[in-house]
Structure 1
Amino acid sequence: MTVRHHVENLIRRGNIFYWRPRIPRSFLLCPAGSRLSLSLQASDHRKAHMMARRLNTLLADLKVGSMAGTTTKDQLARLCAAERDQMMDHLEGIAFAARRRGRPHDITDVEMDLENGWAYRLLENFGPHTLLTLDDGCPGRALLDRNGIPDAHIANIKADYASARSQFLHKGHENRLRAIMKEFEIPDSALNQERTAMNIFRGRADALMATDERYPLADKNLSELTGGSPPRETADQSSDQPHQTKASASSADSEAVPFRLTHTAPDLTLLSTPPEEELRNVDFGEVARSTLVDLPISAFTQECENLVKNKKDEWEAATANDARALVRIFTGVLQEHDVAHSGQITQYHIGRLRQHFNDIPTRWGQSSQLRALSTADLRKQGLQMRADAEASGAKSPVGLSAQTIRKHFANLQTFLQHLRGNGFNILDWTFEGVRPKKPKPGSIRTQQYKPTPADIKPIFSAPIFTGCAGWEEREKSGDVVYHDSLFYMPLLFVYLGARRKELAGLGVNDVYETENGWVVDVRANELRRIKTIQSHRLLPLPDELIRLNFLQYRTEIKKLGYDALFPDLFSHLTENDPGDRFYDQFIPVMQQSLGEALWQRSLHALRHGLSNSLKQRGVPPAIIDDLSGRLSDGETNNRYTDVAGISLMRDALAKFPIITDDIQPRDINLLPWVRKKQPPPWARPGRK
């Protein structure tokens, strides 16, 4: 049943109040005669009355403003909903302050709310850019005098006004104001900024000054501010000594001085339970919404480690190291500009970070000497390398790629979200204009070379596959073939198109026989994670690997007690990435075989090459995506059908030609230190 109340446009349905006004005709883009229907999300009639009156005032202001002719019904509904939410926040904050004081009906709380309310009323009437002294002759003082504000409360109102004005004039608050205007598609102009700010101030003032409904049991006769007389003890104190404002009272008088509810961010001391006098200048309404703490720059590294701990189930070790590197770089840039804590970081510093990326060596992360340099010294090294390259006519090895910069900004965004989520003071920044845009879909196809089977075949003429001089001289021709990751992983790359880490981290139990034949199960295990959910897939073991005794190799490795299918890539003495270890060993083999014909991103290109070859031979893209562990487009592929089965995948892979038929099968010959279960010769304690 719908019940109407004496407040205009306020109705009650069940236990919930709604605001349902008719949209004025001046809103030209709204349907004639239409209404808004907004749930106030409140069952308390006092809260509902305050919010409805505030929304009625807001609608009246918008009706006569310039926005009425350009605002749609949806925009108007979202703007009113935001105002409702803000009012609710204020009311809950005020209630929190009252509960914290333990005296919900004390006249002192009424006075403090009214003083704060008049501070915001001054900002509403005169704007934040006008400095009011509230001395005799000040227009703000005249407004207070006309409304009968006693002189004893002027100092407190002045303190609250100064605090609220300072907060609004902070650059971070201006950014938030612009964000609100952008969200509601309000044109960004000086006039509209003033109007938006005025509505914010009015809403806060209305909420704070509605004390009759919030404190119905408080005795208004005990305060001059509410039309009564001051308490006897206050009068006695004022007759004995000059008036001392609450804002300036000393800690010695803390028993006689109530809290001051100002609008300043709390200090670090508020994270514990401080003495009552230390909380005198805290706005508990603001504390209820967000306790913002300035995090010292020196603590960024530790906070990054906390982020890594939070992401332990989502991030791989490489991702965590990328985040650490970004935070280390960002900290260095901030220290260069004498930034002490998180609250001092501005948009300017984001721009300095972007320029830093342009001026450092491209491969700085691969050099321990370069990683040890400070940010300033690293840029100097980059400038020198750039000058040397220009002098010799070579390509400059300076400046990170757009893709790498995008990755760093993604990590920075994650780090900032972590700081905000943990209550640290972070201003509103934007990465627009500094983060490189994603490449257009049409240009992505040309960025990676896709080797054909004919391009790849020369690799398998290397001594590793045909016979080498020994396990320490595998680049030289000879009569010995060793079976390890260097022998079998390139075959898996070419015929399955899996990712490097997927293959390097295979376990002996990830290769097994099913009713559809032998399979390679790409799944998360104790050795490594997988990239995405769709990366988990069953792949048919290529017949060519079976011909080259891959199953016998698996059996030998399992008999020795290894968990890893390629134990030559692992060592308990190090924390190396097995995929990186394989890369470092196999790229020289590719360079020796292909020479100048070697393409960029050499290993990953093999993955592209298989997909392209299958597509050119008529394999549907959805099947190729299932083979590659990628997410296909469309409801049919993602919702209504399962991943392609082993038989279908085997038929698709059979369309890729055999390019390793020159390799002859041999008896399994493991590396000597693998057979003896000794540490690999390349491993050193503590080496990464």
Structure 2
Amino acid sequence: MLAQNHLSQRGSVYQWRRRVRSQSTGIIDIKLSLGTTDRRVAAILARKISAESDHLMDQINSNSITPAEARAWLGEVIRRERQKIEQLQMLRRIESDDPADDARHDEAMRDAWQHLAQAGLNGRIPDGTQDLVRSNIEILRQDLTSESRRNIVARDFRNLTGRERVSAFELMTLMTLLISGKKAAWAGYETALQPIDTLADEIARQAPSALIGSEPRPTPPAKTALEAPPSQSLPASTPSAKDPTISAVIERMILLKRREGIEEKTLQQYRSFGKLFILLTGIADIRDVLQSDATSFRASLRKLPKSWGKSPADQTATREEVMARAAALRPDQVGLSVGTINRHLEHLGQIVASAADEGIPVDPRLNPAKLRRKDPVRDSDKRDAFTPVQLERIFRGPVWSGSESEYYQTRPGPTTYHNGLYWCPLIGAVTGARREEIAGLAPNDIVTVDGIPCFSIAASDQRRVKTLSSQRVVPIHSRLIELGFLDYVARIRAKGHPDLFPDLREPTSGQHGRKLGRRMRQVIDETLGAEGAALSFHSLRHYVQNALERAKIDDKIIRDIVGHEGRDVHDKVYHKPVPPDIMQPAIESLTLAI
């Protein structure tokens, strides 16, 4: 039923093979593993390769294209055609509401490629042609005749063959191959693409095509012009010194950024982004990413559950499972925030730029920054700041006035437990330091400078800092000392523990801030109820910023306390950190109602 020339099986896997005797005494033998056990998928790929090979064999005989180049080009055809089928299948499963309409569009695309292959790019469109077919022809014409498309085809062929240039005649030949191959692939979609789910899933499980070929084998000892010299022998994959997969590009980029002192949390975000991008687009090679893929990725982010990434199950979920989960949620629980979407687009832009810097060919029209959306909510409105009254209510709660037990520290009781949950919010309220900066303190980070006890916030084995300006020395508020903070530090030092707040370290990840964030959320909810819905540990940082501004503290001193960068080049380059004795009055202006 699916008879196909040059298609055969080797074991359970299909392969394509063609042997042709050239005009000399050599034999050209090209074999390609199709990497699939599904005959329908093999028929699609074989039909496309056979159509391409008719032209390639002519070019080989005229010595315009070598056998090695032919194998590389055909291998690239297989790789891209598999990806196209997979993406088409994915879009149908997720986006389509009308399979019959999908089939109508497929048929129109098939007819459009058929027309272009027979009549050429400038051939007259026959009267009576359906509007959808006519529209597809016009769109394809615009793309195929554009300078950018021809540049991409020439670039891809140079990358595959290692040639320095492609002649006008060779470019015309490659464009002809492209059209004939597209026509051949679409010609059999009605039979070969059913069932499409099964085909695309099978393709996704297969590794990239293993390209096996041989150079022309002349019968006489002397080499003929048809035999490609060793220097032109090409491997199956694109001959690039760098791995072009998105995950590999990210790992190399992370190495560079780690040397620049970027915090580990940010570096992990790049890895998470890479996994999410591959999950939502099905694209694993940075060379294959187009602007339309970035647009589709942005659209998919708006369909994700807002809680995405918080459950361990998200790490192994398929796209279908993710979207099915989102479909069962309320509308207000679906769609990542504009800020998060923009951050993902920024990550994509950095990865694309990193690949380009490494010499990996990326689409020159790919510009994720164009897809950024303006956030309708101001940064200052995204998180509330504590008011003095709210903080007074918080610090009158069980954690600071007496708890039932250390496990049930938010329940009223007779004992006050001086642990991380007790000290960290107090420190945050008189320093404005970030959650991870406080929770990740070590005993040795409590220092004395010019006789003033201080917090030394700097990168260490315990934790990294957000930026270089985040490294700072901040005086310890006198009220903390009155409450016994320095005595607590001495006890922890005597125990030899590396953490100042060992109860806040996550047992599996080793991180410090998350547990503090969860416990603070519990404290806020139980103390303030709905009034504290927009508050978090980070709201202490906003409280300190506001309180220092109201106290008319110099802006440079405020930036040094909270660890913000300077506002201009002068501040960033020439401003030196304020010493603790100048900073101390500003710290003491903050009241601690406990």
What's the TM-score bracket when you normalise by the shorter of the two chains? 0.5 to 0.7
Distance 1:523 1:507 in 2: 11
Matches within 5 A, 1:52-91: none
Q: Which residue type is aligned with residue 252 of structure 1?
A: P
Q: Deviations over 1:334-361 (max 9, x none)?
A: 33xxx57544332222122111101111
Matches within 5 A, 1:269-288: 276-277=229-230, 279=232
Q: 1:511 and 2:464 equivalent? A: no
Q: Which residue type is aligned with residue 319 of structure 1?
A: T
Gaps of 5+ in 2: 1-58, 81-141, 155-164, 168-213
CA RMSD of superposed structures (Å):
4.1
**3-state SS in 2 of match to 1:526:** coil
Contact 1:506 / 1:565 at 8 angstroms: preserved in 2? yes
Matches within 5 A, 1:352-391: 352-386=296-330
Q: 1:548 and 2:507 equivalent? A: no
Which residue of 324, 343, 362 corresponds with 1:426?
A: 362
Q: 1:321 and 2:268 equivalent? A: yes
The structure number with the bigger radius of gyration is: 1
TM-aligned CA distance change 1:194 to 1:379, over 3 Å: closer
Matches within 5 A, 1:575-590: 575-590=509-524
Q: Deviations over 1:239-283 (max 9, x none)?
A: xxxxxxxxx9925389645699xxxxxxxxxxxxxx83460689x
**3-state SS in 1 of match to 2:336:** coil
Distance 1:305 1:154 in 2: 44
Deviation at 1:422, TM superposition (A): 4.5
Distance 1:475 1:409 in 2: 41
TM-aligned CA distance change 1:483 to 1:280, over 3 Å: closer
Which residue of 491, 513, 532 corresponds with 2:426?
A: 491
Distance 2:341 2:562 in 1: 26
Distance 1:515 1:647 in 2: 8
**3-state SS in 1 of match to 2:381:** coil
Distance 2:276 2:587 in 1: 45
Distance 1:361 1:637 in 2: 42
Distance 1:340 1:455 in 2: 49
Q: Which residue type is aligned with residue 400 of structure 1?
A: L
Distance 2:528 2:487 in 1: 30
Q: Which residue type is aligned with residue 406 of structure 1?
A: N
TM-aligned CA distance change 1:496 to 1:384, over 3 Å: same
Task: Report the counterpart of residue 435 of structure 1 in structure 2.
Answer: 372
Contact 2:346 / 2:369 at 8 angstroms: preserved in 1? no
Which residue of 369, 379, 384 corresponds with 1:444?
A: 379
**3-state SS in 2 of match to 1:603:** coil
Question: Structure 1 vs Structure 2: percent identity of aligned residues?
Answer: 23
Task: Report the counterpart of residue 523 of structure 1 in structure 2.
Answer: 458
Distance 1:628 1:482 in 2: 28
Deviation at 1:381, TM superposition (A): 1.3
User: Higher mean Cα deviation, 477-486 or 375-384?
Assistant: 375-384
**3-state SS in 1 of match to 2:473:** strand
Contact 2:349 / 2:367 at 8 angstroms: preserved in 1? no
Distance 1:399 1:524 in 2: 35
Task: Report the counterpart of residue 220 of structure 1 in structure 2.
Answer: none
TM-score (norm 1): 0.52
**3-state SS in 1 of match to 2:455:** strand
TM-aligned CA distance change 1:558 to 1:410, over 3 Å: same
Task: Report the counterpart of residue 333 of structure 2 in structure 1.
Answer: 397
Distance 1:449 1:469 in 2: 30
Contact 1:496 / 1:627 at 8 angstroms: preserved in 2? yes
Contact 1:364 / 1:371 at 8 angstroms: preserved in 2? no
Q: Which residue type is aligned with residue 485 of structure 1?
A: G
Deviation at 1:385, TM superposition (A): 0.6
Q: 1:346 and 2:290 equivalent? A: yes
**3-state SS in 1 of match to 2:553:** coil
Which residue of 337, 342, 354 corresponds with 1:406?
A: 342
Task: Report the counterpart of residue 574 of structure 1 in structure 2.
Answer: 508
Deviation at 1:479, TM superposition (A): 1.3
TM-aligned CA distance change 1:251 to 1:492, over 3 Å: farther
TM-aligned CA distance change 1:366 to 1:546, over 3 Å: same
Distance 2:242 2:577 in 1: 50
Task: Report the counterpart of residue 593 of structure 1 in structure 2.
Answer: 527
TM-aligned CA distance change 1:514 to 1:457, over 3 Å: same
Gaps of 5+ in 1: 1-151, 173-188, 202-206, 210-247, 261-274, 283-289, 390-395, 661-688
Distance 2:361 2:241 in 1: 5
**3-state SS in 2 of match to 1:473:** coil
TM-aligned CA distance change 1:250 to 1:451, over 3 Å: same
TM-aligned CA distance change 1:155 to 1:601, over 3 Å: farther
User: Higher mean Cα deviation, 629-638 or 602-611?
Assistant: 629-638
Q: Deviations over 1:136-194 (max 9, x none)?
A: xxxxxxxxxxxxxxxx99945699xx99xx9xxx9x9xxxxxxxxxxxxxxxx99x987
Contact 2:475 / 2:583 at 8 angstroms: preserved in 1? yes
**3-state SS in 2 of match to 1:627:** helix
**3-state SS in 2 of match to 1:322:** helix
Contact 2:262 / 2:467 at 8 angstroms: preserved in 1? no
TM-aligned CA distance change 1:258 to 1:416, over 3 Å: farther
Distance 2:564 2:230 in 1: 60
Distance 2:399 2:509 in 1: 26
Deviation at 1:628, TM superposition (A): 0.8
TM-aligned CA distance change 1:292 to 1:618, over 3 Å: same
Higher relative contact order (CA 8 A, sep 6+): 2
TM-score (norm 2): 0.60
**3-state SS in 2 of match to 1:365:** coil
Distance 1:259 1:439 in 2: 64
Aligned residues: 409
Q: Which residue type is aligned with residue 341 of structure 2?
A: I
Which residue of 563, 575, 578 corresponds with 1:629?
A: 563
Task: Report the counterpart of residue 252 of structure 1 in structure 2.
Answer: 218
Q: Deviations over 1:111-159 (max 9, x none)?
A: xxxxxxxxxxxxxxxxxxxxxxxxxxxxxxxxxxxxxxxxx99945699
Q: Deviations over 1:409-468 (max 9, x none)?
A: 22223333344444544323121443224679xx43333322222222111011110011
Which residue of 610, 616, 629 corresponds with 2:550?
A: 616
Q: Which residue type is aligned with residue 523 of structure 2?
A: V
Q: 1:655 and 2:592 equivalent? A: no
Which residue of 499, 505, 520 corresponds with 1:564?
A: 499
Distance 2:329 2:376 in 1: 28
Distance 1:546 1:249 in 2: 81
Q: Deviations over 1:361-419 (max 9, x none)?
A: 10121122344321122112112213xx5xxxxxx111111111122222223333344
Task: Report the counterpart of residue 17 of structure 2 in structure 1.
Answer: none
Task: Report the counterpart of residue 640 of structure 1 in structure 2.
Answer: 574
**3-state SS in 1 of match to 2:537:** helix
Contact 1:295 / 1:342 at 8 angstroms: preserved in 2? no
Distance 2:447 2:388 in 1: 28
Contact 2:386 / 2:543 at 8 angstroms: preserved in 1? yes
TM-aligned CA distance change 1:301 to 1:496, over 3 Å: same
Q: Which residue type is aligned with residue 338 of structure 2?
A: A
